[in-house]
Amino acid sequence: MASKFWTQGGSDTEEEETDIEDEIENGGAGETTAAAAGSRYLQTNASDSDDSDGQKRVVRSAKDKRFEEMASTVDQMKNAMKINDWVSLQESFDKINKQLEKVMRVTESDRVPNLYIKCLVMLEDFLAEALANKEAKKKMSSSNHKALNAMKQKLKKNNKQYEELINKYRENPESEEEKFEDEDEDEDEDESGSELEDPSQIAAESSDEDDEGEDVDDDDADGAWEKKLSKKEKLMDREFKKDPSEITWDTVNKKFKEVVAARGRKGTGKFEQVEQLTFLTKVAKTPAQKLEILFSVISAQFDVNPGLSGHMPINVWKKCVQNMLVILDILVQYPNIVVDDMVEPDENETQKGADYDGTIRVWGNLVAFLERIDNEFFKSLQCIDPHTREYVERLRDEPLFLVLAQNVQEYLERIGDLKSAAKVALRRVELVYYKPQEVYDAMRQLAVLSEDGEKDGDETKVEETRGTSAFVVTPELVSRKLTFPENSRALMDILVTLIYKSGDERTKARAMLCDIYHHALFDEFSIARDLLLMSHLQDTIQHMDVSTQILFNRAMAQVGLCAFRVGLIAEGHGCLSELYSGGRVKELLAQGVSQSRYHEKTPEQERLERRRQMPYHMHINLELLEAVHLICAMLLEVPNMAANSLDAKRKVISKTFRRLLEVSERQPFTGPPENVRDHVMAATRALCKGDFQKAFDVINSLDVWKLLRNRESVLEMLKAKIKEEALRTYLFTYCSSYDTLGLDQLTKMFDLSDAQIHSIVSKMLVNEELHASWDQPTRCIIFHDVEYSRLQALAFQLTEKLSILAESNERAVEARFGGGGLDLPLRRRDNQEYAAGTSGGGGGRWPDLSYNQGRQGSSGRAAYTGGGRPLALGQASRDRSSQSRGTGGYSGRAGSGMRGYQMDASARMVSLSRGVRG
């Protein structure tokens, strides 16, 4: 037992272990050549009896390993005590403290292991004894004496932290011992060989603890947890067990204050506190008190969360939700209880019983708790690897939260706190808005399915909480069921209407964005666009917080996708081009961190950015987005390039696309397309030659299309568009080579009907893009040779430059005198002007919107007739109006308008990036 090996090896091991954690096994094996080639585990179980037990070599978890290390250290300490060797005792003590840290880390709890406490008690006692024994002290060697004194200091300091636990242990060591006796059948002979009195008793116990610890650890951490819990309950019970009638409100209140006061203090276990408070809820005397304690329980549960970036443990989260539901139960049952966080409630407010008539004020904030719970849910989804089962499991918890949110909202509406209700509604909206109908249906089904299972679980749980000694029984008044409308749109409408009515500015903006996103998801482009324009979010979004800006970007992306699906290429491009102009799509949509080569982000920024990330299931598919963006750009840019082949610089619709094209043209050899970009570039090359079939085939071969719901119709539309643009490109490119061109030949070449070709060509003629005329009898296009003189061309260029200059001058002046946002007044004025043009139905914004919708059908391709310019959302309506009025000077205005928009966009992106960085 008193093996020499340990007293010698002690110091070596210590060094090794502190330095090289990972190599513990190697180090251990290397250093102990003496200890036969046995495994580390055999060694650490230093007691001979264990060896004789013939323990097999087992692979153990890190947790077990740590516990064993600790146990072995305790053994060492015992040995040192026996020979009164304070030097090695001191070393061992340092070691055990280090090991404690490791254990805590591994078990991820802040519960100090019993083993450690036991060891501390043992040391304390031994120390007291040693100090008492003056004679022995005198006999000690000087080094030993010094160590003794040092140990005295250290232990005193150290034990202060664990005072409470130690006292608890001292109070009822026997109960523990009994338990150990029961558990450990194979009591070993150590006990008999003990010659020390009290400490040795404990020491012996703790040596048993080795085996015991193993057993416990083999089960689970939860097992240990349960045991401890029962112990605690015993403790608590002892205080309250006397007689239910003896427990008064005062005792409960006192205990409650005591527990709450311990919050955040060093050495207060967070789990422990939750448990204690949970126990208190059971013995609470009045509903108000129970409510108060429940609020504290939830706060304590939030405290369990280890850090800002980590998320709350899932089981705690679920308990938290349950607690919230209980709170609601109470609130519903006793409508005279008011929850408020504004006023400091009277000390004895909660004393008023259930039969009290007046209002009882209890401190708390339901909305804040709800938001916190939602945030924790969001964070957990951010942290969990989306490709694991765990993630899916976690997603299944969503209905749980939705139920809670629904109930909280109902409650708040009932008590008339609409502002808070709007906040809660927003949380619900944010969980629903990104779900297509399919996903929504699946969620509903899940909610229905889990209901049965949930019910069982619920009942047992309720039984459990109620079974013991709940003084205030709260029946489940609030439904635990989700009541969903059939259609997600219907749900959105209800929630959004509420928010618009009573939400604050930010809530409304966010709800609006979610609404837009949802509409876009359901292919309702015109509604989504109108909402976007009506809300003027484009103007104000720069001043909002980053997460709202991200939401805005997401909504824009979705609107762009939607425009593409319904065949509005120009609009789609308008929405998407700004996202792609900076090359930081991932960052803008918060779907990943983009690495910039030019400036390193500080860890701080990176952490911030990581915290903003969208969970995986909310992502917009980036490949699809890129494909749509590039295809839109291609359809607009290719004919544009063909039309302005002479000076390519002049009108650039999509800079991104141009750049990509240049890169791909520089390649000496073009291989078969691999990614989205390659595909679009290959299609572009074909389209430039007017080969629509090849272009379509290449694009069709992209596999992102399977992500579209109505894939067939979209591809059909795409094919029609490609044909059309191919025709236009062909005409632009080769018009100079023809004198006349037959309609029949064109129909054959482009597989389009006579009428279609006629309309396309006529449109080009009207817009003076093509200098030609129809010869009806012979069904031919006759080309005229009209070329601008150089001077004319230059003059055009000059006017364009001038208009830019004038525009930016105007903006500068507005900025100086306008006060608000840079471009806000400009936009407004346009709107008014426009409203006036539409027979001024009151000059408000609604009439012009309805007008807009009315025109939608008749000028379906109004943007297209606008010379293939990218009419961004804001300008689309404007151009249409000016065209329908047939005013002159159209091109100039459209051009400037477009540019203005792009500038806005760039400004916005800048601001966002500022937000990202700053």
Question: In whole angstroms, how far apart are CA 268 and each of 90, 295, 859?
Answer: 27, 19, 71
Give least dist CB 552 to other proteins, A.
Answer: 20
* Sheet of strand 772-775: strand arrangement: 740-742, 780-783, 772-775
Kindly tell me which of 663 and 806 has the beta carbon lying closer to other proteins: 806
Give least dist CB 793 to other proteins, A.
Answer: 9
Kindly tell me which of 808 and 832 has the beta carbon lying closer to other proteins: 808
Q: How far apart are CA 160 and CA 164, in angstroms?
A: 8
Alpha-carbon dihedral sign for residues 115, 116, 119, 124? negative
Give least dist CB 387 to other proteins, A.
Answer: 42
Give least dist CB 797 to other proteins, A.
Answer: 6
Kindly tell me which of 128 and 798 has the beta carbon lying closer to other proteins: 798
Kindly tell me which of 782 and 812 has the beta carbon lying closer to other proteins: 812
Kindly tell me which of 819 and 857 has the beta carbon lying closer to other proteins: 819
Kindly tell me which of 2 and 805 has the beta carbon lying closer to other proteins: 805
Q: How far apart are CA 577 and CA 23, in angstroms?
A: 54
Check residue 654 and report its DSSP letter. Answer: -
C-beta separation of 193 from 1 below 8 A: yes
Give least dist CB 817 to other proteins, A.
Answer: 13
Provide the 3-class DSSP secondary structure of residue 424. Answer: helix
Kindly tell me which of 372 and 811 has the beta carbon lying closer to other proteins: 811
Give least dist CB 813 to other proteins, A.
Answer: 11
Amino acid, single-letter form, for residue 157 = K
Q: How far apart are CA 918 and CA 916, in angstroms?
A: 6
Kindly tell me which of 207 and 896 has the beta carbon lying closer to other proteins: 896
Give least dist CB 542 to other proteins, A.
Answer: 11
Give least dist CB 914 to other proteins, A.
Answer: 9
Number of H helices, E strands in the chain: 43, 5
Kindly tell me which of 177 and 810 has the beta carbon lying closer to other proteins: 810
Give least dist CB 794 to other proteins, A.
Answer: 4
- Sequence-ordered list of residues with C-beta below 8 angstroms from that of 819, at least 6 positions apart, any chain: none
Q: How far apart are CA 65 and CA 106, in angstroms?
A: 10
Give least dist CB 507 to other proteins, A.
Answer: 24
- List interacting residues with other proteins (CB under 8 A): 789-791, 794-795, 797-798, 801-802, 804-805, 808-809, 811-812, 815-816
Give least dist CB 799 to other proteins, A.
Answer: 10
Helices 890-917 and 603-612, axial angle in degrees (round to 10)? 110
Token pair of 891 as six digits: 């091109």
Q: How far apart are CA 760 and CA 727, in angstroms?
A: 9
Token pair of 333 as six digits: 């049952």
Kindly tell me which of 141 and 797 has the beta carbon lying closer to other proteins: 797
C-beta separation of 104 from 56 below 8 A: no
Give least dist CB 212 to other proteins, A.
Answer: 56
DSSP 485-548: -SSHHHHHHHHHHHHHHH--HHHHHHHHHHHHHHHHHTT-HHHHHHHHHHHTHHHHGGGS-HHH
Give the burial string for 475-507 (b: 16+ CB within 10 Å, else e): eeebeeebebeeebbebbeebbebbeebbeeeb
Amino acid, single-letter form, for residue 794 = L
Q: How far apart are CA 848 and CA 829, in angstroms?
A: 13
Kindly tell me which of 257 and 801 has the beta carbon lying closer to other proteins: 801
What kind and span of H or E run contains 782? strand 780-783
Kindly tell me which of 449 and 805 has the beta carbon lying closer to other proteins: 805
